[in-house]
Amino acid sequence: MKFYGEELSSRLFLGTAQYPSPAILQDAIKVSRAEVITVSLRRETTGGTGAAFWDLLRDLGCRILPNTAGCHSVQEAVTTAQMAREIFGTPWIKLEVIGHGDSLQPDVFGLVEAAKILTDDGFQVFPYTTDDLVVGEKLIDAGCEVLMPWGAPIGSGQGLRNPDALRAMRAHFPDVPLVVDAGIGRPSDAAEAMELGMDAVLLNTAVAKAGDPVQMARAMAGAVDAGRDGFQADPMERRDMAVPSTPVLGLAEFGPEFGGEFE
């Protein structure tokens, strides 16, 4: 699995916000086996707790994917991305341009505009988008080589609200890496996303706000692996009627003394 030419073995991307403590965050990332972690620029400062947090992330040895979380305009997102590149030293950026305050749904018009500006500036953009095929096409035309459709609103834990749309995206973009971003609440949600053929899952709240974040991180890692294996195994089609698993041909025949109908 490659993203902008970088090969990864883990298909679970993990966020770093809202954990009970830095130690729990560190342990959760380790057991998740995540190789990519997302970080908001707002978590970083030139000193104090921000510097300690940055030291912790570097010690983990993961690839940093800065994000523009909380940005509501193109200019805000572009400026934040440029600052993140200077701080983290990476062209990778998870691009968010929020259009709706309650659902945190992306402003897809601003998203495409910002993606074009950033790719022209040398960024490698991971756009947080909807599951709309036309928007996906526009983002690819803008220079994005990855699409990150939402499963449900950020932090909602609702799972995949429209699996048919994600299935359609997989069929429409067979060669584009697809990462389900937002809405994953349980390991079964992550497994379902992977069974649909997604290349990876990005989540944060489901782990950070669990009763035991470390155990949940381990569960999510297992679910992602199981879902991927299930997809590659080519699952059986769903059926409307029952089909016996034991063949009728060759069954024993019983006489009248055993309730049979022949002599």
Higher pLDDT, 48 or 71: 71
Contact 164, 197 (CB under 8 A): no
Residue 2, domain member (yes or no): no
Q: Is residue 66 part of a domain?
A: yes
**CATH code of the domain covering residue 109:** 3.20.20.70
Query: What pTM did the predictor assign?
Result: 0.87
Asked if residue 96 has pLDDT above 90, the reply is yes
The answer to whether position 132 is within a domain reads yes
Q: Is the residue at 224 inside a domain?
A: yes
Over residues 217-247, the pLDDT tens digits come to 999 999 999 999 999 998 888 888 888 777 7
Question: How far apart (Å, rounded) are the C-alpha atoms in residues 231 and 194?
Answer: 7
Higher pLDDT, 245 or 211: 211
Mean pLDDT of 61-78: 93
Contact 39, 65 (CB under 8 A): yes
Percent of the chain with pLDDT over 70: 90
Q: How many domains does the chain fold into?
A: 1
Q: Look at residue 239 in the predicted model and tell me its pLDDT.
A: 83
Is 187 a member of any domain?
Answer: yes
183 is known to lie in a ligand binding site: yes
Domain of 43 in residue numbering reads as 10-233
Amino acid residing at 45: T
Query: Is it the case that residue 202 has pLDDT exceeding 90?
Result: yes
Query: Tell me, what DSSP letter sits at residue 145?
Result: S
Is 250 annotated as a binding-site member?
A: no
Side-chain-side CA neighbours of residue 30 (13 Å): 11
User: Does pLDDT of 44 surpass 80?
Assistant: no
Q: Is the pLDDT of residue 38 over 50?
A: yes
Q: What is the DSSP letter of 113?
A: H
User: 94 an active-site residue?
Assistant: yes
Which entry of 2, 30, 94, 116 is annotated as an active-site residue? Answer: 94
Write the pLDDT tens digit of every residue in 117-160: 999 999 999 999 999 999 999 999 999 999 999 999 988 889 99
- Residue 102 in domain: yes
Calpha distance 103→126 (Å, rounded) = 20
Q: What is the rounded distance in angstroms from the CA atom of residue 245 to the CA atom of residue 220?
A: 32
200 annotated as belonging to a binding site for a ligand: no
